[in-house]
Structure 1
Amino acid sequence: MTKPLPLAAGETQTLHQALFQRLMASARGGPNDGFIAQMLASWMADRGGLPRWMGLTEAQFGDMLCRHFGRLPAVSGVRDDRDLPDDMDELEDLRALLMEFRAGQDESELWVADLVVAGCTSADHLWSDLGLFSRPQLTAMLTVNFPALAVRNDRNMKWKKFLYKQLCEREGIYVCRAPSCAVCADYAQCFAPEEE
């Protein structure tokens, strides 16, 4: 489970941190409570790139809150800035990929898959678009929910690029001209550190 955010000496708690602490105080002890609390706190504080209802339907959103934070009162201040795009054909393929590798340990894996798909519709690093606090949190979340898929990223490729590469390979599409990643001129774009 995710630990509370540490505060430096003299630092005051931000809205983002306060929301996270409040959510974790109501967490029910599921394997995804901490990850969903991070994403929800970010979304409520207008951080990250998740759309309306975090990319879920309103009913799914309510079910997710109830499952993970049962004692939490209704969430107010719902962001209405955008919906999931209609013209991204690969969204269903991304969801199918995640579902194929689902751990099968908890029903929240279904919501996590939809959240990851929604995060892929924004332009920043996936961990940032999801509202997770760091890239290692994204790696941990994918490992918990989709372990057989996560282990395939054994060279630490950026997650969004990795997921799309998996889709391309399934379709037999190899857009990279280099014989291997190690000699590719664009290596840094796929494997460079992601700023936190």
Structure 2
Amino acid sequence: MTAMPQTTDLLSVHYHHLIQHRCGDPNDDLIAKMYASWLCGQGAMPLNLGLPLDIFRTMMAYHFPTMPHISRPAHIRHVDVARMEELDDLRTLLHQSHSHTGPDAGWMVEILCAGCMGSDHLWQDLGLWSRKDLSRLMQDNFQSLAERNSKDMKWKKFLYKQMCEGEGIYVCRSPSCEVCKDYQACFGPEV
């Protein structure tokens, strides 16, 4: 009798299966990581990575055109409907700074919005494998926004700070981040 593979083994199997079918787009790797994590129950992504089913299928067919079958996880997470207004504000911020003109333009906005609804670090909620993956996603897809994060603030905190400042809401009482007593919470290591 064979032992059940560990989650990391399944994660690797799902990821490598997807990568064999990639189209060569820079986002293939990131989507493969998020999708593999989603299949293994990791991260906080809702059904279809936060996309409507038809758009999810279109995205997967674009990034992995020769993949014969799209698997779906047994678990289902949902976005908190009480946070929909927050999602709209985040969506607006991301659309304004999206640097892609291809089909990925709307997909990454919606996926990132869904990931922001989780309660962990954004890279973990998205099902990415490191913060470096998220920084690459931001740089490749939201370059102008990524460049504004010049001090390497944690991404979810940075996005929400940008939304607040866009609305003229300044919740931080410190004159600058460097002198704030909560500096570690925004800029410290993500573990």
TM category, shorter? over 0.9
Are 1:158 and 2:175 an aligned pair?
no
Partner residue of 2:19 out of 24, 38, 41? 24
Aligned length: 185
d(CA) in 2 for partners of 1:104, 1:133: 23
Are 1:15 and 2:18 an aligned pair?
no
Partner residue of 1:70 out of 60, 65, 68? 65
Q: What corresponds to 2:4 in structure 1?
A: none
Q: What corresponds to 2:97 in structure 1?
A: 101
Q: TM-score, normalised by structure 2?
A: 0.92
The one-letter code sitting in structure 2 at the alignment partner of 1:32 is N
d(CA) in 1 for partners of 2:136, 2:74: 27
Report if the CA contact (8 A) 2:41-2:73 is conserved: no
Q: What corresponds to 1:3 in structure 2?
A: none
- Give the Å deviation of 1:90: 1.0
- Give the Å deviation of 1:82: 2.3
d(CA) in 1 for partners of 2:53, 2:112: 17
Deviation per CA, 1:66-114, whole angstroms, max 9, x where unpaired?
0101111222343442222211111011111111111134211311111
d(CA) in 2 for partners of 1:142, 1:155: 14
Q: Is there any run of 5+ residues in structure 2 with no aligned partner, and where?
A: 1-7
Partner residue of 1:110 out of 88, 94, 106? 106
Q: Is there any run of 5+ residues in structure 1 with no aligned partner, and where?
A: 1-12
Report if the CA contact (8 A) 2:124-2:130 is conserved: yes
d(CA) in 1 for partners of 2:25, 2:34: 15
d(CA) in 2 for partners of 1:106, 1:85: 29
Runs ≥4 in structure 1, deviation > 6 angstroms? none
Q: TM-score, normalised by structure 1?
A: 0.90
Report if the CA contact (8 A) 1:52-1:79 is conserved: no
- Give the Å deviation of 1:26: 0.4
Q: What corresponds to 2:45 in structure 1?
A: 50
Deviation per CA, 1:15-59, whole angstroms, max 9, x where unpaired?
001111110000011121111011001001111110111111111
Q: CA RMSD in A?
A: 1.6
Higher helix share: 2
d(CA) in 1 for partners of 2:73, 2:57: 12
Q: What corresponds to 1:126 in structure 2?
A: 122
1:71-86 paired onto structure 2 within 5 Å: 71-86=66-81
Percent sequence identity is 44
Q: What corresponds to 1:169 in structure 2?
A: 165
Q: What corresponds to 2:176 in structure 1?
A: 180
The one-letter code sitting in structure 1 at the alignment partner of 2:31 is I
Q: What corresponds to 2:190 in structure 1?
A: 194
